[in-house]
Chain A
């Protein structure tokens, strides 16, 4: 695929959790456990999975907010993981991020103008054009009437998320990671922000990685979807394919829990009584083994790998790789 904007290869991230000053038995969390995928220019790639499965960690590694433990990330064929912080600086303007919490992602002590000016300052945007650029950004996100010397505390959640989007757009990025960008908002406002993101994508030719735990939202905005479970990618498919013909048992559970408008929806009837709680994966086998209703013998012994099943649909499950 030559039009891939972002490609990642066997990306891993481990966190070492240490308590206290002295070295004690450490706990290692494998937040991201070897994932591969690529995102094409101009598309929206959705990443879903339950809380703690490593979505944010993946997103943050993609924009180099965290170094990966191992694995490679390519942006337009350049290997980001090999670059130093200094070499990264000119690239950073192309890779931006929108955060989940509109209350935490804006510095409460900076006015709207200062917030939007900061990226321009850092990247030496010509001084004379800054005011014009800030106006332009405000127009993009539909805040053209707002006064510039107000502080984040004076805005609603939806408005703040618009400000965060404007800030991400300031440097004309090519790629934006939206990490739970609408999860903290009311449903009516969620739709507004999603539509705004889609409009901006068309207008500016952006590529998105859209992270959410809500498959309904991801489905609305994405072209392709990756499903994550405990640090692994278990299924990747086109949006429509995934909806019509989910393969992985975990994807089926996720779909069943999405409230749907269509009364003929087949999955609605399926009452999945999967046990709740903490499920450590067996060390040798599939990470979903303990929760899986369709598990086979081999599942406890061997890790399944992601394999293409049909046109544009890959799954990591032994059911489909006999």
Chain B
């Protein structure tokens, strides 16, 4: 375990990934101190300075400026990291659990069950993820919980697929036969021997998918379908900036602050988890884990 941690730190992209991930995790944890909310019961709603539809450049009151609608950009970025982290962790834990169990059980028992399972996975593979999530959130209604639910419904199949191929290898190993020879039950063998030894690629995929899920949610908010207006969410902040991208005549970057901070935040957050997953992947000898 110690050796693996050391190898990870020595991996050139791994260390960058870890630094970025740790940075955003600490920002998310320290959010109440970095950007004290005006209304502690409603901390996820961005602080507003007035209701002007024009963005405001950085000043003493709002260090990174405000978007149209008077939302404080600094506050949004800090609390947006919480939104991203919670969303990423919840969806990834749920999808990985569902997918790994479904794929693992199907592969372990094999036969018709496995055939049916793979047909379903193939069907889900062909569904455009973002469009499916948009359709579901439209039908179910707005809100973070609905988005998370939709992300889970359409995100589990990758884990199932990966788990399946892994379990097919592990279940032929001699220690599984040895356990059977002792008289262990199929369930016991699955949870004690097969599952723990098939998990490492799943962990890699989870790391990469935290970034990917956050990205999809951000895309939703970016096109204006995701979170409710004013919710601290990076995608929504970029959505606010869309009208200001072209600046004013003669000064194309006049409103740079409306998109720069949010872009950098999303990019570094996603990059961090992706690099971490990548480094984990090369460590376990799985190139192209995704």
Contact = CB atoms under 8 A, between A and B. Distances in A.
Interface in A72-88: 88
Given A107-B193, A109-B196, A109-B197, A99 B174 contact: yes
Contacts of B51: none
A108 B197 contact: yes
Given A107-B193, A107-B197, A109-B197, A65 B180 contact: yes
B38 interface: no
A88 B115 CA distance: 30
A107 B177 CA distance: 11
Interface string A114-150: 0000110011000000000000000000000000000
Main secondary structure of the interface of A (DSSP, over half): loop
A93 B196 CA distance: 25
Nearest to A120: B182
Listed residue (A92, A104, A107) with the most chain B CB atoms within 10 angstroms of its CB: A107
Contacts of A97: 177-178, 181
Contacts of B19: none
A118 B182 contact: yes
Interface string B251-273: 00000000000000000000000
Interface string B171-193: 00111011111111000100011
A63 B179 CA distance: 12
> What is the size category of the interface that chain B forms with chain A?
10 to 19
Interface string A218-260: 0000000000000000000000000000000000000000000
Listed residue (B173, B174, B179, B192) with the most chain A CB atoms within 10 angstroms of its CB: B174
A73 to B, nearest CB: 15
Interface in B102-138: 115
A272 B178 CA distance: 39
A105 B174 contact: yes
A17 B179 CA distance: 25
B174 A93 contact: no
B181 A104 contact: no
Interface in B153-186: 173-175, 177-184
A122 B182 contact: yes
A298 interface: no
A255 to B, nearest CB: 30
A23 B153 CA distance: 32
Interface string B192-207: 1100110000000000
23 contacts: A21-B115, A65-B177, A65-B180, A89-B183, A93-B183, A97-B177, A97-B181, A99-B174, A99-B178, A104-B175, A105-B174, A105-B177, A105-B178, A107-B179, A107-B196, A109-B196, A109-B197, A118-B192, A122-B188, A123-B182, A167-B178, A167-B182, A171-B182
Interface of B: 115, 173-175, 177-184, 188, 192-193, 196-197
Given A99-B177, A104-B174, 14 more contacts: A65-B177, A65-B180, A88-B183, A95-B181, A97-B181, A99-B178, A104-B175, A105-B175, A107-B192, A107-B197, A122-B182, A122-B183, A123-B182, A171-B182
List the 8 closest pairs (A to B, CB-CB), nearest first: A105-B174, A92-B183, A99-B174, A104-B174, A107-B175, A119-B182, A109-B196, A89-B183
